[in-house]
Copies of this chain bind each other. A is one copy, B any other.
């Protein structure tokens, strides 16, 4: 049954009864997006939380000079949303866009709040999800401060081994907080060093 992967993930943290599973599944919206489609656009209200089943998303911010800054990539088993927009139901600061054809399970704001009431255990699932995201975001801040661009790139390849081939280089540069040109120079330098 197609909802299994998500249910496994959820049941590894909380144990749902059969009734709860049925209710949960009734509120999950399965959606397919194509490469380059947007889930959220800066300025819109983010109305869904998405769990990635397959494919890849980028969450990014466009600054005043028009530069894109990738906040995070979400691949299989990750989730994504403009959380700030979602929880306050105000316009989003971030864009969320598919960089591959992507299959998602989505919860709307209304449904999720309904589910929190009907299945209080679900609070735990999302608490744990958000805790993990916070931990990895804090670690990222540290990496940005204490490592050079080259070290950050090496760390990135270590933490996300598949991403390096999967994602265009200019997006990795953006994630690392450097220009695409400079990442290119780092890579050629790394080749020379071998």
Residues of chain A touching chain B, judged by Cβ–Cβ distance below 8 Å, are 61, 63-65, 67, 69, 71, 83-84, 87, 93-94, 116, 120-121, 123-124, 126-128, 130-135, 137-142, 144-146, 177
Contacts and interface: CB of A to CB of B under 8 A. Distances in A.
A186 to B, nearest CB: 17
B144 A144 contact: yes
Q: How many copies does the complex hold?
A: 2
Contacts of A134: 83, 130, 133-134, 137
Contacts of A123: 120, 123-124, 127
Nearest to A88: B135
Contacts of A69: 142, 145-146
A174 B159 CA distance: 25
Main secondary structure on chain A at its contact with chain B? helix
Nearest to A62: B146
B141 A137 contact: yes
A32 to B, nearest CB: 27
20 contacts: A61-B142, A61-B145, A63-B145, A63-B146, A64-B146, A65-B146, A69-B146, A71-B141, A94-B138, A120-B123, A120-B124, A127-B127, A133-B134, A134-B134, A134-B137, A137-B141, A140-B141, A141-B141, A144-B177, A145-B177
A139 B71 CA distance: 9
Given A120-B123, A130-B134, A134-B133, A141 B139 contact: no
Q: Which of A61, A121, A135 has the most CB of B within 10 A?
A: A135
